[in-house]
Amino acid sequence: MFRSSLAMALVAGSAVSLTAAIANAAVAGGLVPHRAVYDIQLKQASERSGIEGMRGRMVYEFSGSECAGYTTNFRFVTRIDTGEQIRVTDQQSKTFEDLAAGKFRFETKSFTDDQMDKDVSGAAADENGKVMIELEEPAPRALELADSRFPAEHMLEVIGNARKGKALFEARIFDGSEDGDKSYLTTTVVGPSRKPTASEAADKSTGLVAGEAYWPVSIAYFDEKASGDLLPIYTQSFKLYENGISRDLTLDYGDFILTGKLTKLEVLGTGDCH
């Protein structure tokens, strides 16, 4: 859900009265509309990465309901110090997912130093056990992919398996990232439910979820077309609450690792169907 194709490209060298209602929505299996802000810091980087420092901010806004569809607005801005120059990257995306109809729309724009690197948009739909893609930008193109989960559908699956105590499962995901023309094999590992520590419960930035139990989750993404040993191209780890809110991110791109601390959380509704 927090994938950042632009960050990977740069490494390659291309540059709370709602509490009760929200609790009920979580028990019913719904995802709560919210806006989360994360401060991003560099945890470690290999010499090969060419990165000496990195910091940034990620804003994730999730709205809608399971019956009306979910809209996600995502923005990830980073300031990268290579030792010789400072680069500012800006990835922006907007998606809409209709769970009932099995349809998904996506728009992604990425910039480096205010210059556009990529502009991708299109639509995807579940049809007869396949995912049919209609790309609009950068050029009209139609293609067919293997059966895949869309992002909100996959998040509901993660929460469902976590409730059942299923610690390991695989899924293919299409999220419209990169060039919008491929899906990714994923392996998800879910740890046992944990109660917050005293410091976590006292963290005011997490608002109404501060005192709630969570699952530690790790999702590894694989490119099945890669040659040799199948290693993840990207891994994200986070603490996941039953209503879909996440905190304490770790984003592992191989040559460098970022951390994301939740600094502001705003609930935008209950997520109930009306």
User: If pLDDT is split at 50, 70 and 90, which confidence band does 199 have?
Assistant: confident
DSSP β-bridge partners for residue 88: 79
pLDDT mean over 115-130: 94
Does the structure show a pLDDT above 60 at 12? no
Classified as helix, coil or strand, 77 is strand
User: If pLDDT is split at 50, 70 and 90, which confidence band does 168 have?
Assistant: very high
**Structure-block tokens of residue 101:** 């109809």
Whether residue 138 has a cis bond before it, omega within 30° of 0:
yes
* pLDDT on residue 272: 77
Please indicate whether residue 129 or residue 274 has the higher confidence score (pLDDT): 129
User: If pLDDT is split at 50, 70 and 90, which confidence band does 17 have?
Assistant: very low
Does the structure show a pLDDT above 80 at 219? yes
**Structure-block tokens of residue 84:** 């010789």
